Amino acid sequence: MLTVKRTILSASVVLVLAAGLTGCAATSSGSSLIPAAVEPAAAEITASATPAPTPKTGDVIDAAQADALKAARGPQVAYKMTDGSFVVVTKTEPLPAAVQAEVEAKTNVVAVKYNDVSADMNAASDGMLAAKSAVTRTTGKKVIVVWYVLGYPLSSSETKVNYWAVDGDAAAGEFFMTRAEAEASVAAWVAATPNSNEYAIIFAG
């Protein structure tokens, strides 16, 4: 009889211990010390995944955006106006009207200074080259300047006359007696080139 009682007692202890362990396991699973991962809000995910919009030709941007365009070395540049603002220029699109007007005004100052090309042809050529280079540097465009000059259009000419000279890839060195003729010639040349949108045509003088 003693053996039977001990066996029953041992079984009871095992059951009690098992029940206790089961209870502990249940409690532990419901109160883990490891914090649950915090999922970001949907709005935060959307905001971080949305890229900044690409500026369009003619947009006025701030200095930080201008620096970003310069660093990107892409098809767009930020032209700095005389008032300090920045205007987006795309190399393969026409110049924004405000930029076109400003570069023509700046080039015109040089053209007027060297209007009499016969006085010093080298100085006139150097001055116009510098003006063209400035426009290319600030806009990224290839530049053709058509300027109104005073001189001898032909080496055989004996009298100075005013005429339109072309400085650039299109009909370089040619001259025209009217602006309309010069415009038509340059426009036809540019239209026939495969990269016509890369050119800016400036009239000065």
Q: Which residues lie below 8 Å from residue 60, measured CB to CB, with a gap of 6+? A: 85, 86, 87, 88
Task: Tell me the whole-structure pTM to 2 decimals.
Answer: 0.72
**Residue ranges making up the domain that contains 135:** 91-204
**How far does Cα 148 stand from its chain's mean position?**
33
Is residue 62 in some structural domain? no
* Residue 22 belongs to some domain of the structure: no
Does 107 reside within a domain? yes
Residue 18: inside a domain, yes or no?
no
Q: For each of the chain's 205 residues, which pLDDT tens digit applies?
A: 444 444 433 444 343 334 444 444 444 444 445 555 555 555 554 555 566 678 999 999 999 999 999 999 999 999 999 999 999 999 999 999 999 999 999 999 999 999 999 999 899 989 999 999 999 999 999 999 999 999 998 877 889 999 999 987 776 678 899 999 999 999 999 999 988 999 999 999 8
Q: Is 182 inside a domain boundary?
A: yes
Nearest to 131 by CA among 168, 84, 161: 168
List all residues 6 or more positions away from 152 whose beta carbon is below 8 Å from its beta carbon: 118, 158, 159, 160, 161
Per-residue tokens: 3:
């053996």
CA nearest to 164, candidates 121, 111, 107 = 111
User: In this structure, is the dihedral angle defined by the CA atoms of residues 173, 174, 180 and 184, taken in order, positive or negative?
Assistant: negative
The number of domains in the chain is 1
Q: Is residue 48 part of a domain?
A: no
Is 104 a member of any domain?
A: yes
Which residues are CB-contacts of 155 (< 8 A; sequence separation ≥ 6)? none
Q: Is 9 a member of any domain?
A: no
